[in-house]
Amino acid sequence: MYQRKNKDNNEEGEVISITYEDIDEIPNRVFKVKSLTSLNLSHNKLSCIPQEITQLKKLQNLTVNHNLVSSLANLSKLSNLHSLSLAGNQLTEKEIDSCGLSNLHLQALNLSKNHLNCIPKSVYSIKTLTKLVVSDNNISEIPDQFSNLINLKFLGLNNNNFKEIPKCILGLPCLKGISLSGNPFKDEVDVIYSLRNCAQIINSTVDSNAINAKIQLIQKASHNSTGINALLTNIN
């Protein structure tokens, strides 16, 4: 379905959505819309995002979910890009690291359902990120450089290969939500202990409702170390 419209609420720019059309390349007419601020190309058969995309200097939101993308243009010239979603493609960390993400001021990045064995190194340089989703990959650890993401508020790690919660994420000062379902954690006590001091995390999701309830109790009591220790003793 092809849709083109002006943005709502008297905002400047245009929105184009081309979804479920089975296109295997982006139509040239798209690159001629210089006022374009939002582009959705989800559910097609695109295998690459070409360099012509950088002609869209005003682009703020780019969504290319559920395609066949394995190759990316250098996106570093898209200086106004705030949101990038590439979920459900065939991207590796090498390809993502070569597309210039570290030069952008992204606030939201979705790399779910790709071919990632680790979080791309370039992501650690995007200090403006507030939301990062890398669910449904094969990630098993996160290095200490992840602590550079001091503005991160939500982290999606569902359906990866974590056996324990990465320690470096627990000190992120702005983190409010984390999603962890579908990981092969060793046991629930390990999850609970890891989250026990994270009073700032108000939403956490794992597989078991029982674990979620215990985590919430611990977080509520986190201002009182005696209360935390009592809860952990009862859990054990």
User: Which CATH number covers residue 204?
Assistant: 3.80.10.10
- Residue 213 pLDDT more than 60? no
Q: Which residue has the tokens 């629930």?
A: 188
CB neighbours of residue 94 within 10 Å: 10
Domain extent, residue 126, equals 2-235
The CA–CA distances, whole Å, from 152 to 82, 126, 171, 177 equal 14, 10, 11, 9
Closest CA to 102 of 138, 63, 166, 148: 148
How do residues 106-165 score in pLDDT, each as one tens digit? 999 999 999 999 999 999 999 999 999 999 999 999 999 999 999 999 999 999 999 988
Over residues 47-85, the pLDDT tens digits come to 999 999 999 999 999 999 999 999 999 999 999 999 999
Residue 225 banded pLDDT, cuts 50, 70, 90: very low
Does residue 170 surpass a pLDDT of 90? Answer: no
List, edge to edge, every strand of the sheet that includes 83-85: 2-6, 14-18, 36-40, 61-63, 83-85, 108-110, 131-133, 154-156, 177-179, 203-205
The CA angle 98-167-180, to the nearest 5 degrees, is 75
First to last CA, the chain: 55
Positive or negative torsion for Cα 125, 178, 171, 190: negative
H-helix or E-strand spanning residue 190:
helix 188-195
Question: What is the C-alpha separation between 15 and 33, in angstroms, rounded?
Answer: 10
**φ, ψ for residue 192 (rounded to 5)?**
-65, -45
| Beta-bridge mates of residue 38 | 15, 61
What secondary structure does DSSP assign to 21-70, as a single string? S--SS--HHHHT-TTEEEEE--SS---EE-GGGGG-TT--EEE--SS---
Give the chain's domain count.
1
